[in-house]
Amino acid sequence: MLKLHDVIKTYAGKSEVKALAGINLAIGTGEMVAIMGPSGSGKSTLLNLLGGLDVPTSGQVIVAGTDLAGESEKGRSLFRRSTVSYIFQAYHLMPTLKVRQNVALPLHLAGMAATVIEEKVTRALQDVGLEARGNHLPDELSGGERQRAAIARALVTDAPLLLADEPTGNLDSARGAEILELLRTINRERGTTIVIVTHDHNAASACARLIRLRDGRVEGDSAVAGGGV
């Protein structure tokens, strides 16, 4: 599903910052992988590259057979629309849209018919247990519910790759456990490849594989004992 070859990412500025210093990595279809590391290790940069939000300075980022480094801005947008879905720590729900509308947003961007959108949104909300909260604004939901809504928005496109940036970072431990359980279910039942960037050991232990980053390099890559079960 994912292949990174000699990926380097530097940020220009008064002094150049090397966020990723030569990453080589492969993640198979249907895997659930956690990426951990201290602040500044390059976790978020790596996730941005995997999702086509950013491009590497050099190297190859091949996702579902597409080398994102060579894609145009528009090509990467269309790629995201069809292949990747996101979950963010801060949810990034549109505050002025109701939950149903938030979930429907990527389908509207893809220009789908209203009846299909309605059907897919209802199913996605059912999958995350939020069917009763569809007509509420994000402000009216708890943190866990907001993240569920964000997951529903990620699920609704049936994208084969789900990228999660600190999905439990804003939640208490009980709500965090619920979200992790939901992600595992999605991985198990739908076969969705999931990559989670996290500081949370509980989140990491929910995954089958753990990749550790330090100073922009892969420090360790191992299976998680009992993870993903």
Partner 1 sequence: MRFLLRTLSLSYVRRHLAKTILTLLGVVVGVATFSSIESAKGTLVKGIRSTVDRVAGKAQLQIIMEGGVPEEVQEQVRALPGIRATSPVIEQIVIPEKGELGSLMVIGIDLLGDREMRDYGFEGDDADLDDPLLFLAQPDSAIFTRQFAEKAGLKSGDSLAIKAPKGVKLVKARGLLTPKGFAEAFGGNLMVVDVYAAQELFGRGRRFDRIDVRLDEGTSVAQGIATLEKALGPAYRVETPGKRGEQIEKIVTNFVAGFNISSGFALAIGIFLIFNAFNVAVNRRRRDIGTLRALGATPRQVQLLFLAEALVIGIIGGILGTLAGSAFSQAFLRMMGQTSETLYGVTSSGTVRLVPLVVLQSMFLGVAASLIGAWGPALSASRISPTEAFAKGAFQAAVPGRSALRIAAGVATLGSAVVMALKPPFGGNPFIFVELLLGGAGIVLLVGPLSRLLLHHLVQLVTRFAPVAGRLSGDALLGNARRTSGTIMAMALSLTFVLGLGGYMGSTKKALERWMNDSLTCELFVRASANFNRPDFLFPGGLRDELLQLPGVKSVESFRVNRPLYQGRQIQVASIEIAPLLERMKYDFTQGDVETMRRGLTREGKCAVSDNFSRRYKLGIGQQVELAAPGGKVRFTIAAVVRDYASDQGTVLLDRSQFLRYWQDDRVDIYDVSLHPDANVGQVRDHIRARLAGRYPALISTRQEFIAEITKAIDAFYALTRVTLFLALLVAFLGIVTALLISVAERTREIGILKALGALPAQLARGIVLEALLLALAGLVLALPAGNLFASFMEGPLAELFTGWIMPHFYPWEILLQLTIALPLISAFAAWVPARQAGRMKIVEAIEYE
Is 122 a residue that touches partner 1 (CB under 8 A)?
Answer: no
Nearer residue to partner 1 within complex by CB, 47 or 208: 47
Is 223 a residue that touches partner 1 (CB under 8 A)?
Answer: no
Centre a 10 Å sphere on the Cβ of residue 5 and count the other Cβ atoms it contains: 16
Stretch in the footprint of partner 1 (CB under 8 A) among 32-40, 96-104, 127-135, 208-216? 96-104
Residue 19 and residue 55 in contact, taking contact as beta carbons nearer than 8 Å: no
Nearer residue to partner 1 within complex by CB, 153 or 175: 153
Among 20, 33, 41, 51, binds partner 1 (CB under 8 A): 51
- Strands laid side by side in the 2-11 sheet: 17-27, 2-11, 58-63, 66-67
Residue 97 Cα to chain centre, angstroms? 21
Q: Partners of 152 in the beta sheet?
A: none
Nearest distance from C-beta of residue 3 to partner 1, angstroms: 21
Is 86 a residue that touches partner 1 (CB under 8 A)?
Answer: yes
Is 33 a residue that touches partner 1 (CB under 8 A)?
Answer: no
What's the CA gap between 32 and 196, in Å, rounded?
8
Is 97 a residue that touches partner 1 (CB under 8 A)?
Answer: yes
Among 10, 24, 101, 122, binds partner 1 (CB under 8 A): 101
Residue 124 and residue 186 in contact, taking contact as beta carbons nearer than 8 Å: no
Nearer residue to partner 1 within complex by CB, 159 or 183: 159
Is 138 a residue that touches partner 1 (CB under 8 A)?
Answer: no
Reduced to 3 states (helix: H, G, I; strand: E, B; else coil), residue 210 is: strand
Among 104, 195, 203, 208, binds partner 1 (CB under 8 A): 104
Reduced to 3 states (helix: H, G, I; strand: E, B; else coil), residue 31 is: coil
